[in-house]
Structure 1
Amino acid sequence: MILQNAASTILRPVLGTLGGMALCVIGQGAQAEPALPDTTPRSAVVSAFQPEWLALQANLEDRREHVVNGTVFLTGTIEAKPVVLFLSGISMVNAAMTTQLALDRFTIDRIVFSGIAGGVDPDLKIGDVVVPSAWSQYLEAVFARETPGGYQLPPFADRSANFGMIFPQSVEIARGKAEPERKTWFPVDAKLLEVAKATAAATELAQCTADNRCLSHRPKVVVGGNGVSGQAFVDNKAFREYTARTFDASVLDMESAAVAHVAYANGTPFIAFRSLSDLAGGGDGENEMQTFFQLASENSAAVVRAFLKAMP
């Protein structure tokens, strides 16, 4: 989400093209040298933009930096658990690309997304951390033809609940030798969700930014519900309400469903922790992402650290 919700001006470029992939490892004070792919089983911990990534790096031990064609992967441990940290980049395409790259180059047992997002559920507030149990893509869609009799869809499209001309559709996925299947929802791994539930109540979340701008409420962790992702930064009240009605969504962003899609296609367990930096157009004033993205990033990272610590 994110960001749902992060501005591209904040993001430092970290992505390279994938043609002619090369993996190197950079040691302290050493030049880049070719290396074999990392073979240690790890949790892939993914963030979309720099503040989210840096919040996790503060607790990374035994750090090693791997560069795959311009994309930086950091291996080491957090809470004594082997991890590989990397930036997905903002957007569904970037997130899918970098996640598959990580799966191809590292030995990954599970994928954990840590980042910020826009809140959809009116019961949620800025700073809360949401851990949805399933993700969908609201812009995997047909933009329908408008006729005097209403919107006309092509024969292959489903007449789903629409937002004007936008009719969301399922996506076809190829998996190995099996027949392609169509999916609308990508479930989070049930065992990972149980670990998240067990650690949620014990995690202390920040209420104030570094410059003492404080929320009027104590943020909380909510496990369960639905998340949606798409290729748009949403700051629109009507669309926020539409995603709540149509998808029963709690949160929306710009990456999680893409990562869930890749994880599903590869048979890799997935979970996402998203802290609300804004309300996706639901607030009374201007979008508050710029004010609270750092607090939200740190809250998400705090829950992810507790989650990793609790992992077997």
Structure 2
Amino acid sequence: MDAFKPTCIAASLAACLAGTPVLAQVIDETPRLAVMSAFDPEWAVLQDGVQDAETHAINGSPFVTGKLEGQDVVLVLSGVSMVNAAMNTQIALDRFRVEGIIFSGIAGGVDPELTIGDVVIPEQWGEYLDAIMARETADGFSIPPWMSSNFEPMGMRHVRNQTVLREGLDEPETRFWFPVDEDLLETAREVATDLSLEKCASEGDCLSKAPRIVVGGNGVSGAAFVDNADLREWAFDTFDASVLDMESAAVAHVAWANNVPFIAFRSLSDLAGGGEGENEMSTFMGLAARNSAEVMRSFLAALK
């Protein structure tokens, strides 16, 4: 029970020392949209234009309240990785009155029809690298007989579904896909028809054609930065994925568990190992972050 002691405050010291968990206190009562990004280059773009900004440091991470495109928001720096994203999403839900979650950031392109700079707004997300590492036998890789996988494996890696619970369920549910909110997705479709996106990075490198916005399809997330053509091809063939990243499915999972609407805007900074030369992220990361944020801001402005 000592794990609770560092969080003790005077008003609840007795309960804390007795081993009773101290509930997180809500910072303010304003209903807000949580607008998230993963790391500093995205975070800097996200904060541009926020009015009445006030920073709250929670567990070492910044949470910025204010107004963005007329909406009351709390900006959340998720951190890179599935664990960081899940942790900071739940912190935001516990400490603020969050009515919806919106993620904006960069991603690796999986669909060969997409190119760098494109913004993709998937309709569902899956945790594709959560896996069963199979035993090698004379007949190939085999998982234990009491386990199962719904997808084509990649070598010893067999994809594992999630067993999840939330309020209203009498027993755990097994699922791979976590859907985004249908109403939010419809607003994104309406916004996408009227926008044009940048094709040149700040350093002067330009794409051969203007990026486009693609609404719908699948996104996948996992605890690995991907710069591998074979894994990229497997992700496309197996999950019909458009993009992959390291956070969105974790946020979608937490949002689903809390019954909170979720949507993610992801712009391609690289092709996840599918390009002809070196990984493109360092060249086009800024352009992709700006394009994703531009679509997200237009989306915010269009929300009723």
Q: Same fold (TM over 0.5)?
A: yes
Q: Deviations over 1:155-203 (max 9, x none)?
A: 2321431000000011101223621111110011000000000001222
- The question of 1:290 aligning with 2:282 is answered yes
Check the 8 A contact 1:235/1:287 in 2, yes or no. yes
In the alignment, the residues of structure 2 paired with residue 206 and residue 166 of structure 1 have an alpha-carbon distance, to the nearest angstrom, of: 38
Q: Which residue of 1 aligns with 2:188?
A: 196
Check the 8 A contact 2:42/2:105 in 1, yes or no. yes
Larger gyration radius, structure 1 or structure 2: 2
- Of stretches 107-116 and 65-74 in structure 1, the one that deviates more from structure 2 is 65-74
Q: How far off is 1:36 after superposition?
A: 5.6
Instruction: List structure 1 segments (4+ residues) > 4 angstroms apart after TM superposition.
Output: none
Q: How does 1:179-190 map to 2 (within 5 A)?
A: 179-190=171-182
Q: Which residue of 2 aligns with 1:161?
A: 152
Q: Which residue of 1 aligns with 2:7?
A: 20
Given residue 185 of structure 1, which amino acid in structure 2 is its aligned partner?
W
Q: Which residue of 2 aligns with 1:51?
A: 41
Q: How does 1:41-120 map to 2 (within 5 A)?
A: 41-120=31-110
Q: Deviations over 1:5-28 (max 9, x none)?
A: xxxxxxxxxxxxxx6299xxxxxx
Given residue 285 of structure 1, which amino acid in structure 2 is its aligned partner?
G
Where does the alignment leave 5 or more consecutive residues of structure 2 unmatched?
1-5, 10-24
Q: How far off is 1:38 after superposition?
A: 1.6
SS for the counterpart of 2:7 is coil
Q: How far off is 1:68 after superposition?
A: 1.1
Aligned residues: 282
Identical amino acids, percent of aligned pairs: 57
Task: Summarize the Cα distance change of 1:116–1:291 in structure 2 as closer, same or farther, 3 Å threshold.
Answer: same
In the alignment, the residues of structure 2 paired with residue 199 and residue 49 of structure 1 have an alpha-carbon distance, to the nearest angstrom, of: 25
Q: Which residue of 2 aligns with 1:5?
A: none
- Of stretches 55-64 and 113-122 in structure 1, the one that deviates more from structure 2 is 55-64
Q: Which residue of 1 aligns with 2:226?
A: 234
The structure carrying a bigger helix percent of its residues is 2
Check the 8 A contact 1:21/1:68 in 2, yes or no. no
TM value normalised by structure 2: 0.90
Given residue 232 of structure 2, which amino acid in structure 1 is its aligned partner?
R
- The question of 1:273 aligning with 2:260 is answered no
Where does the alignment leave 5 or more consecutive residues of structure 1 unmatched?
1-18, 23-34
In the alignment, the residues of structure 2 paired with residue 59 and residue 173 of structure 1 have an alpha-carbon distance, to the nearest angstrom, of: 37
Task: Summarize the Cα distance change of 1:242–1:75 in structure 2 as closer, same or farther, 3 Å threshold.
Answer: same
Q: How far off is 1:140 after superposition?
A: 1.5
